[in-house]
Structure 1
């Protein structure tokens, strides 16, 4: 079967994509598949156009930021970005990349994750984090939230207290709890001006969805 996405879809970094795409994903998680990588790549291009920075380092970091798969329900989840950074470093070393550029890519990958809670220090790291978080909010973020909840066997919401007014949030048991627990917080943490502007509209879509969902239940 013809691949749904190929290196040609990652212009203007087709040559780099051809070398890195075979390592970009693993497992069967549809919320962290090649389509996710492509969406983050397109987000990153938009941000980089406004912010500058090293385009090759950013592209490599995007292509490899999820090269290690760790389920959201795994106790190793907070280590996912570290594991991916280590694997990416080995891949780039085999391709002959210089040490300082490998370290720049690894730092971006290490710090992109919300669960890792490590501050990005470079422009490329900030742009990757913003590009990845854009894919967690808006309508795509809604779809990914419920997809992951299904993989984890979660319910849609707590029928007796859907707004968690008299109980602690529990987004491992109820998908809708993930909105106040994480998704609605993401737009406040964007690192670049371009990323913040893109996040504003998606955050509005997220809040509109939640309002309509609560109205229906």
Structure 2
């Protein structure tokens, strides 16, 4: 038994592939990029793929390996994380005997999924992965991940004197809820698929509700 035992099943119909890739999928002990994140992204991807189409085998590999290299949010190398992950994923899939075309497709999806990399996805699978991953950054889970990461980065929840940054510059390295405005609320405008955009609007409304409730309580 390994710590990955049982985790492959949620990746049906590609549980066997998941069993091969999960040992390579995690680069750090980060609860915002762990097995539960991968499972949620896969479920998001399947919801989108059911409407948009796309190759589920390539998509599963891209989901499983999109965070296989970890670079902390506050690292100057953050924008390089998806490139490094794409390179590592290519080597892993090559070792498993995947074709050059399939490897290239998966690597492109991983390379372009990242908000920090700011690269346009050019294939359907890449567009689905980007949407599926960004769906996990908004909504209730997105709020939870935001506060979790703020704790890892030793950030405060909010500026007690000016929580909405009405008289100061936004600073999401110092205050968790500043990240809602600097990034999270901006994500819904950039979704690549019709299905993803519809889901994003629903989750963004939840995210705004979280912020409104927090502001009411403070």
Q: TM-score range by the shorter chain?
A: over 0.9
The Cα of 1:74 is off from its aligned counterpart by 1.0
Number of the residue aligned with 1:164: 165
Cα pair distance change 1:196/1:111, threshold 3 Å:
same
Contact 2:7 2:35 in 1 (8 A): no
The Cα of 1:2 is off from its aligned counterpart by 7.0
The Cα of 1:94 is off from its aligned counterpart by 0.5
Structure 1 segment 173-188 matched on structure 2, within 5 A: 173-188=174-189
Number of the residue aligned with 2:85: 84
Number of the residue aligned with 2:52: 51
Q: Which runs of 5+ in 2 are unaligned?
A: none
Output the TM-score relative to the length of structure 1: 0.97
What whole-Å deviation, never above 9, does each CA across 1:56-105 have from its counterpart, x for those lacking one? 11111000000011111111111110100000000000011111110110
Number of the residue aligned with 2:68: 67
Output the TM-score relative to the length of structure 2: 0.97
Contact 1:5 1:34 in 2 (8 A): no
Q: Which runs of 5+ in 1 are unaligned?
A: none
Contact 1:44 1:128 in 2 (8 A): yes
Structure 1 segment 1-217 matched on structure 2, within 5 A: 3=3, 5-217=6-218
Aligned equivalents of 1:182 and 1:6: distance in 2? 30
Aligned equivalents of 1:169 and 1:83: distance in 2? 29
Aligned residues: 217
Aligned equivalents of 2:30 and 2:214: distance in 1? 25
